C-alpha cells in the first residue's frame, strides 16, 4: 500500500462522513488501497474532495468552500506542476490555462476559481480569456460567489473587460436575492477599478439591465451615492435606456429630471433615448418637447432623431407634422435616408395623398447616393460607445 500524500494526511485529520470517505477511496484509491483492488476504477485528478488545498505558502492549508455535495479541490499533482513554473510567468500562464480548461470541462469550477486566486496571490495573472472561461462556467451554474471573485481577479489583472464578462457576471446573479451581497461586490469592484470605478459600475448596471434584472440595475444606480464613484452622464443614459426599453417611461422622465437637478448636462444620447422611448409609447408631444429642448441646449439632432419622430407622426396620421419635420431636417443639412423617404411616401398614400406621394418618390429617385444617408448613418450607440472607450475600460478580451 502506498503511503498517503501530504494532502491526504491533512484530510485524514478532518471529520468526514462514511459516504465521503468512500468517495475518497473510489476516486483516489491508489493512496489507500492496493493496485489490484482498484484496477477497474478510473481517477479524475480535478474532481476529488470536499476541500481546497493551498500550497503556495509552503504548507497545506484547507480553504473552506460553500457547502455542496460535490465541492472540489486542486490536487497535489496540479499544484506541483504550477509551482514548478512560477519563475517563468509565460510558462505558468500556459500550464495554468490548460488546467483551467480541464477543470471547467469536468465541472470543477471551484477548483478553477481557487487556482486563479492562488496565482493572484503570487502576482501571476493569466490571459483575460482564462478568467472569462471560468466566469462563463460559474455563470452557467448561477454561482454568484464564484463569479464575483473571478470577476474581481480579472478586473485586478487587466482592467480591460469585454461586454461578455459583465453579462456572465449579471447572469450568475439571476437566482440570487441578497441585495446586500450584491452591493458589497459592487463596492469592492469599484474600489479595485479606482479611479475608473464609475465606468465599471456603469457597465455592471448596463449588464444587469440587458439581462432583464431591472430591479438590481436600478438598485445599483440608487446606491452609487454610497460608493466612491458618482453617477455621470453615461450612468444616467444607461438608466434612461433601461427604463425606456421596458416601457417605464414615466420613471424615465423622472430620472431625466433628477439628472438635470444633479447638475449633469444631457447629451445627444440622452435626448435620442428620451425621444425614441416616448415615440414607442405614442407620446409624440413629448418627442417635440425634447426635440425643442435639445436644439435650445445647443445639441444638434441627427438623422436618428428626425427619423424616429417623422415615422411616429406619419404612422399616427399627422402627416403634416411629419412633412414639417422632414423639411426641417433637410434645412439642417441632414441627409435623408431611403427609409425616411419611403416612410413619408407610404404614409401619404395611406392618407390618400397620391400626388404628393409621387412628388416625394420622384425626389427620392432623382437623388444621388451621395445625397442620401447610408446604413453607416444609423448607429444609435456610436456616441455612447465613444464616451465609454475614452475611459480606461472597454475593448475586447
Domain stop point among 229, 261, 277: 229
Which of 193 and 75 is assigned the larger pLDDT? Answer: 193
The verdict on 272 and 327 lying in the same domain is no
Q: Dig out the grid coordinates for 158 from the structure.
A: 487587466
Domain stop point among 293, 315, 346: 293
- Phi first, then psi: give them for residue 373, nearest 5 degrees: -75, 140
Quote the percentage of the chain above a pLDDT of 70: 75
pLDDT bracket for residue 324 (50, 70, 90): very high
The verdict on 225 and 270 lying in the same domain is no
On average, the pLDDT of the chain sits at 79
The verdict on 329 and 366 lying in the same domain is yes
Q: Is residue 178 predicted with pLDDT exceeding 50?
A: yes
Domain that holds residue 176: 127-229
Output the pLDDT for position 90.
Answer: 85
**Of 19-33, 75-89, 167-181, 303-317, which range is least confident?**
19-33
Q: Is residue 201 predicted with pLDDT exceeding 50?
A: yes
Q: Dig out the grid coordinates for 160 from the structure.
A: 480591460
The verdict on 257 and 334 lying in the same domain is no
Each residue of 355-397: pLDDT tens digit? 999 999 999 998 876 678 766 665 554 444 444 443 333 333 4
Q: How far apart are CA 85 and CA 200, in angstroms?
A: 33
User: What average pLDDT score do residues 161-166 get?
Assistant: 93
- Phi/psi region, residue 162 (left: phi>0; alpha: psi -120 to 50; beta: rest), is beta
For residue 40, is it within any domain?
no
Choose among 47, 173, 54: nearest CA to 114.
54
User: What average pLDDT score do residues 116-121 get?
Assistant: 84
For residue 2, is it within any domain?
no
**166 Cβ neighbours under 8 A, 6+ residues apart:** 203, 204, 206, 207
Domain stop point among 266, 293, 320: 293
For residue 167, is it within any domain?
yes
For residue 138, is it within any domain?
yes
The verdict on 164 and 216 lying in the same domain is yes
pTM, rounded to two decimals: 0.76
The verdict on 329 and 361 lying in the same domain is yes
Output the pLDDT for position 377.
Answer: 62
Q: How many domains does the chain have?
A: 3
For residue 31, is it within any domain?
no
- Please identify which residue in the block is written with the cell numbers 453617477: 231
Q: Could you give the 3-state DSSP secondary structure of residue 210?
A: helix
**358 Cβ neighbours under 8 A, 6+ residues apart:** none
Residue 2 to residues 5, 20, 24, Cα–Cα distance (Å): 9, 20, 15
The verdict on 236 and 216 lying in the same domain is no
**396 Cβ neighbours under 8 A, 6+ residues apart:** 162
Output the pLDDT for position 79.
Answer: 80
Output the pLDDT for position 87.
Answer: 83
The verdict on 281 and 248 lying in the same domain is yes
The verdict on 336 and 371 lying in the same domain is yes
Output the pLDDT for position 76.
Answer: 73
The verdict on 367 and 351 lying in the same domain is yes
For residue 74, is it within any domain?
no
The verdict on 346 and 316 lying in the same domain is yes
Choose among 14, 9, 64: nearest CA to 31.
9
The verdict on 313 and 281 lying in the same domain is no
Q: How far apart are CA 203 and CA 197, in angstroms?
A: 10
Choose among 238, 152, 144, 239: nearest CA to 187.
152
- Phi first, then psi: give them for residue 123, nearest 5 degrees: 65, 30
User: What average pLDDT score do residues 205-233 get?
Assistant: 95
Q: How far apart are CA 292 and CA 198, in angstroms?
A: 30
**Of 39-48, 168-177, 330-339, which range is least confident?**
39-48
- Phi first, then psi: give them for residue 391, nearest 5 degrees: -85, 170
For residue 71, is it within any domain?
no
Each residue of 32-66: pLDDT tens digit? 333 333 333 344 444 433 334 444 444 434 333 44
- Phi first, then psi: give them for residue 54, nearest 5 degrees: -105, 115
Q: Dig out the grid coordinates for 212 from the structure.
A: 432583464
For residue 96, is it within any domain?
no
Amino acid at each position: 500500500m502506498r503511503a498517503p500524500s501530504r494532502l491526504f494526511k491533512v484530510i485524514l485529520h478532518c471529520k468526514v462522513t462514511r459516504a465521503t470517505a468512500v468517495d475518497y477511496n473510489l476516486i483516489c484509491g491508489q493512496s489507500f488501497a492496493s493496485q489490484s483492488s482498484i484496477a477497474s476504477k478510473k481517477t479524475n485528478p480535478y474532481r476529488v474532495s470536499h476541500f481546497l488545498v493551498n500550497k503556495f505558502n509552503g504548507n497545506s492549508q484547507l480553504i473552506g468552500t460553500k457547502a455542496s455535495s460535490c465541492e472540489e479541490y486542486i490536487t497535489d499533482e496540479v499544484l506541483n506542476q504550477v509551482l514548478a513554473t512560477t519563475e517563468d510567468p509565460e510558462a505558468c500562464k500556459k500550464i495554468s490555462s490548460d488546467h483551467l480548461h480541464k477543470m471547467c470541462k469536468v465541472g470543477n469550477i471551484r477548483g478553477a476559481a481557487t487556482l486563479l486566486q492562488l496565482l493572484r496571490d503570487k502576482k501571476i495573472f493569466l490571459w483575460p480569456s482564462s478568467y472569462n472561461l471560468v466566469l462563463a462556467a460559474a455563470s452557467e451554474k448561477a454561482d454568484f460567489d464564484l463569479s464575483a471573485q473571478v470577476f474581481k481577479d480579472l478586473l485586478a489583472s487587466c482592467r480591460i473587460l469585454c461586454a461578455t464578462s459583465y453579462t456572465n457576471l449579471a447572469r450568475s446573479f439571476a437566482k440570487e436575492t441578497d441585495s446586500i451581497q450584491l452591493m458589497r461586490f459592487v463596492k469592492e469592484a469599484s474600489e479595485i477599478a479606482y479611479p475608473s470605478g464609475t465606468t465599471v459600475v456603469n457597465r455592471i448596471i448596463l449588464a444587469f439591465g440587458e439581462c432583464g434584472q431591472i430591479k438590481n440595475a436600478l438598485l445599483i444606480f440608487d446606491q452609487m451615492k454610497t460608493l466612491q464613484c458618482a453617477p455621470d452622464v453615461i450612468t444616467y443614459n444607461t438608466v434612461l435606456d433601461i427604463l425606456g426599453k421596458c416601457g417605464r417611461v414615466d420613471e424615465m422622465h423622472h430620472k431625466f429630471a433628477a439628472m438635470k437637478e444633479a447638475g449633469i448636462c444631457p447629451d445627444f444620447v440622452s435626448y435620442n433615448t428620451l425621444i425614441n422611448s416616448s415615440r414607442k409609447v405614442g407620446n409624440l408631444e413629448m418627442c417635440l418637447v425634447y426635440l425643442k429642448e435639445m436644439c435650445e441646449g445647443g445639441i444638434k439632432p441627427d438623422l436618428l432623431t428626425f427619423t424616429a419622430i417623422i415615422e411616429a407622426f406619419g404612422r399616427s396620421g399627422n402627416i403634416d407634422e411629419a412633412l414639417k419635420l422632414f423639411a426641417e431636417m433637410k434645412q439642417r443639412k441632414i441627409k435623408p435616408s431611403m427609409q425616411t423617404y419611403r416612410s413619408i411616401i407610404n404614409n401619404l398614400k395611406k392618407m390618400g395623398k397620391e400626388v404628393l406621394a409621387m412628388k416625394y418618390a420622384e425626389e427620392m429617385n432623382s437623388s444621388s447616393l451621395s445625397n442620401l444617408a447610408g446604413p453607416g448613418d444609423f448607429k444609435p450607440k456610436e456616441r455612447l460607445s465613444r464616451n465609454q472607450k475614452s475611459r480606461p475600460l472597454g475593448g475586447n478580451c
